[in-house]
Structure 1
Amino acid sequence: MGVRKKSSKSPPVLSHEFIIQNHADIVSCVAMVFLLGLMFEVTSKVAVLFITVQYNVTITSSDGPEETSVNYFHHGLKDLATVFFYMLVAIIMHAIIQEYVLDKINRKMHFSKTKHSKFNESGQLSAFYLLSSGWGISILHSENLLSNPVSLWEGYPHTLMPFQMKFFYICQMGYWFHALPELYFQKTKKEDIPRQLVYISLYLTHIIGAYILNLTRLGLVLLVLHYFVELLFHVSRLIYFNNEKRQGGFTVWAVLYVLGRLLTLSLSVLTVGFGLAGAPQQGLDLDSGNFNVLFVRITVLAAICLTQAFMMWKFINFQLRRWREHALLQAQKRKPAATKGKTKKDRGANGVNGALNTNGADSPRTRKDKSS
């Protein structure tokens, strides 16, 4: 995420710099068009497709003395319009957090360009992970998914979702789709774009896959687990930027990261490999949303396992790089201390022999005899 420099001279209208500086205002105007469309009968039917959650199904139950109606939702092509609108909302919220929170902190801390970029990234993701984790935990609690793990595969296909769960997935897809234009709006460096595209693609692939394959319950549990671990990392990095001596959060994150990968694999194998394999409803049925066939189960497990292996490989490389940098830093600190304890005679002798000093400038110069 690059550093935006504001100049006193306004750029030409519709130029790249103009769009980057004013993208939040432009997107706000586009979102306002959909909101204004609700006010007129001619456009309200179209505007509703973008703003409200679609595919409502009302189920009436008569368990008690009175009939109760519960609203559920399923997915369809109209969800693309809703995801687009909430992608615009995510761009607006991104700009608000950047301008009113992160930019003010950056001006006080005087970070370098590299730290500025990483601080902005961690600040944005910390806010998103915190909101998503809390929201996801509340859904898990209300749907009793934590107290009853069997419900992850029991009753599959889970074509009907409560409002909060469907809206959660809509917002998740909208946020990660918004990350693509943000690469342009934030002037992301070319060398950072491939890394950004990889993890954005991984998020979208897994979220959309769980949404379409009606594995929303399993996907919700795995997202909350992953978001909590990532939240700890980015909060630890924000604390580190404020005080480089505070690195204890990274140690806790490293332990939870490994445990998170193991728990993700265990839940995936338990749900897809054993739970769905023994479910009574087998076979591919697009009309009923049933994808419980061997090929789909193997594909889902392979995608999850490969992703977890890729993440562990990146994690191990990250830790090895940190250990090498720490070892090099400790070696540099010990070297001056060892040189400081030597006498002038010892330093001169070592400089001549070349046993310790490899730089000729470290050894004292020999003086010429005045008689020569």
Structure 2
Amino acid sequence: MGLRKKNKTPPVFSHEFIIQNHADIVSCVAMVFLLGLMFEVTAKIAVSFVTLQYNVTLPETGEKVDQFILYHYGFKDLATVFFYMLVAIILHAILQEYVLDKINRRMHFSKTKHSKFNESGQLSAFYLASFVWGAFILASENYASNPTHLWESYPHTLMPFQMKFFYIAQLAYWFHALPELYFQKTRKEDIPRQLVYTSLYVFHIAGAYLLNLNRFGLVLLVLHYFVELLFHVSRLLYFSNEKNERGFTLWAFLFVVARLLTLSLSVLTFGFGLAGAQNQSLDLTAGNFNILAVRISALAAICLTQAYMMWKFINFQLKRWKEHAQIQAVKKKATNTKSKAAKKGENKANGVNGTVSFEDRDSPRAKKVKSS
């Protein structure tokens, strides 16, 4: 596909060869699954990778006689997640090659800024797409209009197409972030941080999906993605002009609000909504996980994650304030130095500091008497 320009041709199957050509290699693998749809022998296997599985056709309630299709989850979803993980790797390479790399060449960033700019550029595109997509589902399915929709009629084993595809795409994207650590030559000091937040995303998204809390998970993801989108856009603007810091102030306020809303919705859902439901027995066949142990575990996991995020947020703010204080101290020192230098120059001009005094300037020098 020629997604990347190659200046040199490294040895085949070497690390450098795979990194330079990983988008082309992954594209060929994805093409194999698409070509498999064209032949009857392989179509049944290829369909499991390309299309959503476990659909159920139900009659439309009310006056309409049409039928509509809903989905539940199963083991075949792993194959679908794998295929769309390949798609995410290809899209990542396209965005990197044709947008971010071109901007990087123009801006001449340092290595540290180059890495952070690429990260924010990729995540901004993902958060924007996910936020718009998630908000569209919330509006179309009317989940956000009433908080009781988050736990009403639990378990929510059946999902509309957009809901299931959204979760498949989310899992595929965050799984794709793991091989990208290798493909993008991520610095060793950045790997632990990226592994932590990628693991947290996979854990919470998969948890909401498998525990049939897809509505609740969707609301929290849309809320969280909006705040993260604001942060990474603010960081991109900051890299373009270091005077653009207003976005960070708005992000800091909304970050705290989002954490409070997340905790409030979690307590409301697990502590009141699901706790007051009639059916509170574990039933794996029906997909019902509404028991005390699961509710406490889910609520504890959310609370711990929010506490961890607030701890990172406070450290980030303290670091920013410390850097700002250091910059102000340097500016103040430079200003004082300039004022002292100006004062010193003024004094020199006025004959102070042991240079030419007023008396020395006006009195003529004593002439030497010549000896006869």
Length-normalised TM-score, structure 2:
0.90
Matched with 2:370 is none
Structure 2 residue aligned with 1:285: 283
Map 1:1-372; keep pairs closer than 5 Å: 8-64=7-63, 66-342=64-340, 343-344=343-344
Corresponding residue for residue 350 of structure 1: none
Query: Which structure is larger by alpha-carbon Rg, 1 or 2?
Result: 2
In structure 2, relative to structure 1, the CA distance for the partners of 1:62 and 1:321 (3 Å cut) is closer
| Cα gap change, 1:312 to 1:346, in 2 (>3 Å) | farther
What does the per-residue CA deviation read over 1:79-123, in whole Å, with 9 as the maximum and x for residues that have no partner? 000000000000000000000111111111111111111110000
SS of the residue 2:53 aligns to: coil
SS in 2 for 1:290: coil
SS at match of 1:57: strand
Q: Tell me: higher relative CO, structure 1 or 2? Use CA pairs within 8 A at least 6 residues apart.
A: 1
Question: Following TM superposition, by how much is the alpha carbon of 1:9 offset from its aligned partner in structure 2, in angstroms?
Answer: 2.6
| Structure 1 segments unaligned to the other structure (5+ residues) | 348-372
Q: Deviations over 1:240-287 (max 9, x none)?
A: 111111110000000000000000000011011110000111110000
C-alpha distance in 1, partners of 2:327/2:180?
36
Any gaps of 5 or more consecutive residues in structure 2? 348-372
Query: What SS does structure 2 have at the residue aligned with 1:161?
Result: coil
Return the alpha-carbon distance in structure 1 between the equivalents of residues 7 and 199 of structure 2: 37
**CA–CA distance in 1 between the matches of 2:61 and 2:273?**
30
Which amino acid counterpart does residue 208 of structure 1 have in structure 2?
A
* Counterparts of 1:22 and 1:238, CA distance in 2: 27
Q: 1:154-180: CA deviations, max 9, x gaps? A: 000000000000000000000000000
Aligned residues: 342
CA distance in 1, matches of 2:67, 2:196: 43
Question: Distance between the aligned counterparts of 1:6 and 1:38, measured in 2?
Answer: 31
SS, match of residue 341 in structure 1 = helix
Give the match's secondary structure for 1:72.
strand
Deviation per residue, 1:16-53 (Å, 9 max, x gap): 00000000000000000000000000000000000000
Aligned partners of 2:60, 2:241: CA distance in 1, in Å? 57
Does the 8 Å contact 2:237/2:244 carry over to 1? yes
What is the letter of the counterpart of residue 125 of structure 1? L
- How big is the shift at 1:336? 2.0
66-75 or 296-305: bigger deviation: 66-75
What is the Cα deviation at residue 7 of structure 1?
6.6
Query: Hey, what's the Cα distance between the residues in 2 that align with 1:47 and 1:252?
Result: 46
CA distance change for structure 1 residues 345 and 44 in 2, over 3 Å: closer, same or farther? closer
Percent identity among equivalent residues? 75
Q: Which amino acid aligns with 2:14?
A: S
Q: Distance in 2 between matches of 1:271 and 1:201?
A: 24
Distance 1:62 1:273 in 2: 32
Q: Cα distance, 1:67 vs. partner?
A: 1.7
Q: Match for 1:89: what amino acid? A: V
Distance 1:72 1:9 in 2: 50
Partner SS state of residue 284, structure 1: coil
Task: Give the Cα separation in 2 of the matches to 1:240 and 1:345.
Answer: 39
Distance change (3 Å), C-alpha of 1:240 and 1:63: same
| Structure 1 residue 341, shift from structure 2 partner | 2.3
